[in-house]
Amino acid sequence: MTSNRLRIGVALEGAGWHPAAWREPSARPQDLFTPQYWVDLVRTAEAGLVDFVTIEDSLALQSSEFLSPDDRTDEVRGRLDAVLIASRVAPVTSRIGLIPTATVTHTEPFHLSKAIATLDFTSEGRAGWQVKVSGRPDEAAHVGRRAYPEVDGPDDPAFGALVTELFDEAADAVEVVRRLWDSWEDDAEIRDAATDRFLDADKVHQIDFEGRFFSVRGPSITPRSPQGQPVVAALAHAAVPYLLAARQADLVFTTPADADHARTILNEVRAAEITAARNGEPLQVYADLVVLLDAPGGRPEDGGDGGERAVDRLARLDALGRPLASDARIVAGSAAEVADIVAELHALGYTGVRLRPGVVTDDLPRIADQLIPALQQRGLLPDDADTAETLRGLLGLPDAAPSRYAATTTAAATA
């Protein structure tokens, strides 16, 4: 398999992406806030040869409303910190990439740089970070450092201006994080007790970032991590977030509704790369799919023993409360049907897909046991685990360039 092979991610969110997922017999609502629950999920994904998992997070409770909290008590509310979950899972997994979500809007980039670099150490080079912005007033109120203008919804011009500002701030935040990751050169640590030299101070650099939103001197207090630059990802639905991804990310997660929309999104992402004057590797573009898979028994018409059909399960779950609605395409069917959609997206030019399991305790094992083999049979995935040692390698990304400040050291030494 070449670096152009299909890649598969799984997005982990509580009990699953269906609002009623926690009510299924297989669900473990009593375990949602325990480390073992998350260890079990990620190990299932790793055993199924999934390339990476993302872990959802935010600075407010989940809500059925767009920009405000709700008062529902019939759905999962509450989360553990995604970066800390990933750090707990890292030592008990060996191959799978770990990409927690962290919000930049109310979090200092210095703290984020240190947290993700530390995850890269604890995972031995399998760390990533999904960048998230926050435009919710209740999240801002948790922090108390800023107030947002009142907006009536996405069509309000004030909302558009706020979105542009938030994503410009996010781009600067990622830039600061990336510079801090580079602030230690690879060989800055000497660790020579005989000469009393632990560190080469000339290879630890101030970044001296001055921008509209941040003024950060640096350096980081965390040495350069195994990947040098952990993988940066972003979820994007429109031009402004596409531009953020083009400016600062390695991967972008998108939400095509069908094949025609998928083509349009690819064109919009590539146009954003031109606008951003992106250098180096093009963005890897992933399509998000919410998936509910048929039970293992199979459909009677296909010769199975009558396991519950995914469409019937979806209808049953929808009847329990709030029906499933999503920014991403919802696919309920057999592994073969989902594999056909994935194959079509890959043929269009998508690097891979990120699957959102409707009920994680049902659909994640079915992704591992049914969908991955179906994709292997189509020649889209290797039969064995990839032997890459880092998440960058697993995703076919080149090794990170040396610290951008290494050239400064070389120039000073030869002046």
- What is the rounded distance in angstroms from the CA atom of residue 265 to the CA atom of residue 292? 24
Q: pLDDT (tens digit, 9 = 90+) per residue, 328-337?
A: 999 999 999 9
Residue 141 φ/ψ, nearest 5 degrees: -65, -25
User: What does the alpha-carbon distance between residue 363 and residue 354 come to, in Å, rounded to a whole number?
Assistant: 13
User: What share of the chain has pLDDT > 70, as a percent?
Assistant: 95
Given this model, what pLDDT does residue 298 score?
59
pLDDT at residue 145 greater than cutoff 90: no
Distance CA 279, CA 274 (A): 9
- Among residues 125, 118, 141, which one has the least CA distance to residue 60? 141
Res. 300: pLDDT tops 70:
no
Q: Residue ranges per domain, the chain?
A: 7-178+220-307+328-414
- Are 189 and 198 in contact, with CB atoms under 8 Å apart? yes
Over the stretch 58-106, which tens digit does the pLDDT of each residue have? Answer: 999 999 998 889 999 999 999 999 999 999 999 999 999 999 999 999 9
Would the pLDDT of 344 be above 80? yes
Helix (H, G, I), strand (E, B), or coil: what is residue 352?
Answer: strand
Predicted confidence band of residue 216 (pLDDT cuts 50, 70, 90): very high
Q: Is the model's pLDDT at 415 over the cut of 70? A: no
Residue 159 pLDDT > 60, yes or no?
A: yes
**Residue 215: per-residue pLDDT:** 95
pLDDT digit string, tens, across residues 256-290: 999 999 999 999 999 999 999 999 899 999 999 99
pLDDT band of 297, cuts 50, 70, 90:
confident
Mean pLDDT for the stretch of residues 185-206: 92
User: Is domain 7-178+220-307+328-414 classified as CATH 3.10.20.30?
Assistant: no
Which amino acid appears at position 394 of this protein? L
From first CA to last CA, the distance across the chain in angstroms is 46
Inter-residue contact 202 to 409 (CB < 8 Å): yes
Of the listed ranges 44-58, 129-143, 242-256, the least confidently predicted one is 129-143
Enclosing H/E stretch for 357: strand 352-357
Tell me the per-residue pLDDT of 107-136, one tens digit each, with 9 for 90 and over. 999 999 999 999 999 999 999 999 999 988
